[in-house]
Structure 1
Amino acid sequence: MRSQLGPIDRHFWLNRSVARTMGVNFSEAIAQGRLDAPGYAALLTKCRAADCCEQCEIWLAQQSGPVDEAPEHCANREALNALRD
């Protein structure tokens, strides 16, 4: 993990893109009570603290359809997989 947080815009879109590739919609998860605002903020912060943006961008570029799991390198893999179930 890095000591400095990465740019929020970049990580917002990376989180959203990985989640969408998995069929996870954060707005729906919040509306259904499966995710709350502090939990969502924690996901973004965890991503911002990780050093895997380039890996995520490459992974996203390689996807041609829905996937069942978050990529191995994803800092939020466990949480995103749980939201998909």
Structure 2
Amino acid sequence: MAQNEMGSPELHFWLTRSVARVMGVNLSEAMASDRITAQDYASLVTACRECALVENCKCWLGEQLALTSTAPPGCANTKTLESLARHH
């Protein structure tokens, strides 16, 4: 991916939701309970769109057989997702 090129919004929306779900986080519920804002959610997806580790993330998701408390290695959203998972 070129430096200024971002990935598909739809793909990264679903990747972000999927990683969160595997971590026990429902982003819609987090937003409804004011744990994140709509802008925070959009920023998570944008950070994912800018990430160069998409294939690693897809593989990581495919390997998860149970909930995990950690994001995929190198995930741009690790800090936020792990914080949400801890406070779930």
Query: Same fold by TM (over 0.5)?
Result: yes
Partner amino acid for 1:37?
A: A
Equivalent-residue separation in structure 2 for 1:2 and 1:8 (angstroms): 16
In structure 1, runs of 5+ residues without a counterpart are: none
- Number of the residue aligned with 1:19: 20
| 1:52 corresponds to | 53
TM-score (norm 2): 0.91
Q: Distance in 1 between matches of 2:44 and 2:3?
A: 15
- Root mean square deviation of aligned Cα: 1.2
Q: CA deviation at 1:40?
A: 0.5
CA distance in 2, matches of 1:65, 1:72: 17
Runs of 4+ residues over 6 Å off in structure 1: none
| Corresponding letter in the other structure for 1:76 | N
Q: Distance in 1 between the 2:80 and 2:26 partners?
A: 13
- CA deviations over 1:10-50 (Å, ceiling 9, x no partner): 10111111000000000110111100001111111111011
Q: Please name the residue that 1:63 is paired with.
A: 64
Match of 1:9 in 2: 10
The share of aligned pairs that are identical, in percent, is 45
Aligned partners of 1:18 and 1:53: how far apart in 2?
12
- Gaps (5+ residues) in structure 2? none
Q: Equivalents in 1 of 2:3, 2:19: separation in Å?
A: 21
Structure 2 counterpart of 1:64, one-letter code: L
Partner of 2:78: 77
